[in-house]
Amino acid sequence: MTRTVIDGAYVATVDGEGTELASGYVVIRDARIEAVGAGRAPSEVIDGAREVIPGEGLLVTPGLVNTHHHLYQWLTRGYAQDSILFDWLVSLYPAWSRIDADLVGDGALGAMAVLARSGCSTVGDHHYVFPQGGGDIVGSIVDAAQTLGVRLHATRGSMDLGASDGGLPPDFAVETTAAALEASAAAVHRYDDPSFDSMVRVAIAPCSPFSVTADLLRESAALARDLGVRLHTHGAETVEEEAFCRERFGMSPTDYLESVGWIGDDVWMAHCVHLSAGDIARFAASGTGVAHCPSSNARLAAGIAPVRDMLRAGVPVGLGVDGAASNESGQLGTEVRAAVLAARLRDGADALSGRDALRVATMGGARVLGRQDEIGSVEPGKLADLALWRVDGVEHAGIADPVAALALGAMPPLARLIVQGETVVDDGELTRADSGDVARRVARASAALAERL
């Protein structure tokens, strides 16, 4: 048994009451949070602790939860800089269809390193490009997460609707329906760990209404429910997707996805920018989750998701960076502020507070991934996933509210990222890998992929 104590920090617990401790302590015992309290830690706890972290100048929050990404896109940053979604996809499919497990592993390492260094302890990924002969891509993503020590929600995604059948992706980028289903089941059997303190979960994730057949959506939903895992896809991202669904299926993206079984508390969808009031009510009533990706939506000019209305209706909403090809930042800490600003541009000053945005980035994401009992808040019994932000530097010293340092200010330096009770980022640097080495691997892999074009 080992104990670590954070003593005398500003603690934003994000518990049900939104408890904040201006000076508080957190006791970590092995992988879990043992105690949280106001004031200084009791001396009997300090005595015998493996480590006591002085909390002065620190803001402690739950580790941030990323609910949508495409880690492999770390290798295709800076392409198609001024395109909307469909044109951007068409210009990137040729590069993406030349990836393999080795390249994806390097890209995932880079993307997850940046997430970890921006306060993210749980990484949700959506991988849907599986070239023939590309090797064990899901396995390479799992390996990268284990190298860095972050919690992973991988997905086995898919595309089976090529251009010759009326889909958006070129035929060379898609699989057959049967192959996608078989590989999805295999990935769940091989890598999904359903236990309480699981470091790797796997969901099933056909890509989008314009790249997947109705059969694959329907059968993926049945398969996931049979295996007891979650379902993820993109939904209602752009007006062009809306037009595609109306023309091809005679209904909106949400009506279409519902018609193939994709509404429920085991489903989360990325974006949901273009939801009607009726759609929001159905998401809320069913517990269908949303991965809100404000920077990616801005980069591709997709619009601003109705986060205020979704939260007021009770829709589970988490935060996502989305793939780095549409959000070259790849940082999750900065998305907290982006979410506040985007919501206010759309719906006014009371659309989203800084604290609401922190809740979306933590408990919201935990709920979207089905982990609300395990992560997302700083409470006894939960897993010890914590971000310790330094708020006494020149950017934040003297700020009236430490939570505003994160939600409205520059992203604070990360003093620590603790995952499962272990420090994986210390003073801004990875503890289990060398960031210079990761950068060199990413550069080499990006160049190798570009050369294949």
Residue ranges binding Zn ion (CB under 5 A): 270, 322
**Min. distance of Cβ 50 from Zn ion in angstroms?**
40
Alpha carbon 409 to its chain's center? 21
Q: Is the Cβ of residue 34 or residue 322 nearer to Zn ion in the bound state?
A: 322
Minimum separation from the CB atom of position 70 to Zn ion (A): 6
Give me the least distance between CB of 126 and Zn ion, in Å please: 6
H or E stretch at 155: strand 151-158
Between 211 and 446, CB nearer to Zn ion: 211
Question: Smallest gap, in angstroms, from Cβ of residue 207 to Zn ion?
Answer: 8
Question: In 10 A of CB 280, how many CB atoms?
Answer: 21
**DSSP bridge partners of 26:** 6, 36
Smallest separation (angstroms) from Zn ion to the CB of 152: 17
Pairing of strands 231-235, 51-54: unpaired
Closest CB 160 distance from Zn ion, rounded Å: 18
Token code pair at residue 53: 């972290």
Nearer to Zn ion, 270 or 442 (CB): 270
Q: Which residue's Cβ lies closest to Zn ion? A: 322
Q: Which helix (H) or strand (E) holds 441?
A: helix 435-451
Number of residues that make up the chain: 453
Which CB sits closer to Zn ion, 85 or 109? 85
Measured from the CB of residue 159, what is the shortest distance to Zn ion in angstroms?
13
Residue 154 CB, shortest distance to Zn ion, in Å, is 14
Nearer to Zn ion, 302 or 403 (CB): 302
Q: What Cα–Cα distance (Å) separates residue 212 from each residue in 205, 232, 427?
A: 10, 13, 43
* Helix spans in 151-238 (H): 177-191, 214-227
Tokens 């085991």 locate to 266
Alpha helices in 348-377 (DSSP H): 354-359, 365-368
Of 135, 137, 132, 133, the closest CA to residue 72 belongs to 137
Nearest to 414 by CA among 436, 396, 439: 396
Give the DSSP letter of residue 328: T
Q: Which of 33, 16, 38, 6 is CA-nearest to residue 388?
A: 6
Q: At what angle are helices 101-116 and 435-451 packed, to 10 degrees?
A: 140
What is the token pair recorded at 6? Answer: 């954070």
3-state DSSP call for residue 275?
A: coil
Minimum Å gap between C-beta 322 and Zn ion is: 5
Beta carbon nearer to Zn ion, 354 or 365: 365
CB of 96 to Zn ion, least distance (A): 12
Strand ranges (DSSP E) for 273-370? 289-292, 317-319
Q: Please, which residue, 41 or 138, has the CB nearer to Zn ion?
A: 138
* Nearer to Zn ion among residue 6 and residue 293 (C-beta): 293
Which residue number, 36 or 270, has a Cβ lying nearer to Zn ion? 270
Distance in angstroms (rounded) separating the CA atoms of residues 410 and 245 = 40
Cα separation of 2 and 171, whole Å? 54
Exposure on the CB side of residue 346, measured as CA atoms within 13 A: 21
In the bound state with Zn ion, the residue whose beta carbon lies nearer, of 92 and 270, is 270
Smallest separation (angstroms) from Zn ion to the CB of 178: 25
Nearer to Zn ion, 25 or 130 (CB): 130
Q: Which residues contact 116 (CB under 8 A, 6 or more apart)?
A: 148, 149, 150, 417, 424, 425, 430
Residue type, position 348, single letter: G
